[in-house]
Amino acid sequence: MVHILVGAAATAGLFLIIDFSRKRKLKVTYLQWLLTVMAIAYSVFVIEVIISFIHEGCFRGALIMGVIMGFVAVVWSVLLGRFVFLKSR
Partner 1 sequence: MSNQLFERREFLRIMGIGAAGLSAGGGEVFKEKDDSLTISDDDSSDFTVEVLEGANYEYDATVLKQMSEKYNVFSRNIWDPERRRVMGRGLSYEHLVKGRGRIPDQTRLDYALSSGAWRFANSRTGAYDWGEKYRYRYDSKPWEPSDIGMTWKDASRVVKHAAKFYGASLVGIAKLNPLWLYSDHYAPRRTDMERTIPVIRKGERFERGEDRWFIPESMNRVIVVAFEEDYYGIANSPGRLATAATGNGYSRMAFTAGSIAEFIRFLGYRAIPAGNNVGLSIPMAIDAGLGELGRNGLLVTPRFGPRVRIAKVITDMPLVTDSPIRFGVKEFCEVCKLCADHCPSGSITDGPQTWRGKSISNNHGTLKWYIKPESCYDYNGFSCSNCKRVCPFSKPNNSWLHRMIRGVIQGKITLLDKIMVTFDQASGYGRKISDSEFWNSDGSRCITSREPK
Contacting positions for partner 1 (CB under 8 A): 18, 22, 48-49, 52-53, 55-61, 64-65
Task: Using alpha carbons, list the distances in angstroms from residue 42 to 4, 48, 60.
Answer: 16, 10, 21
Whichever of 52 and 82 has its CB closer to partner 1, that residue is 52
| Whether 49 contacts 65, CB under 8 Å | yes
Nearest approach, Cβ of residue 61 and partner 1 (Å):
3
Whichever of 15 and 83 has its CB closer to partner 1, that residue is 15
Nearest approach, Cβ of residue 18 and partner 1 (Å):
7
Nearest approach, Cβ of residue 86 and partner 1 (Å):
21
Q: Which residues of 12-50 are buried (b: 16+ CB within 10 A; e: fewer)?
A: eeeeebeeebeeeeeebeeebeebbeebbeebbebbebb
Nearest approach, Cβ of residue 42 and partner 1 (Å):
14
Whichever of 53 and 84 has its CB closer to partner 1, that residue is 53
- Measured from the Cβ of residue 75, the count of other Cβ atoms closer than 10 Å reads 10
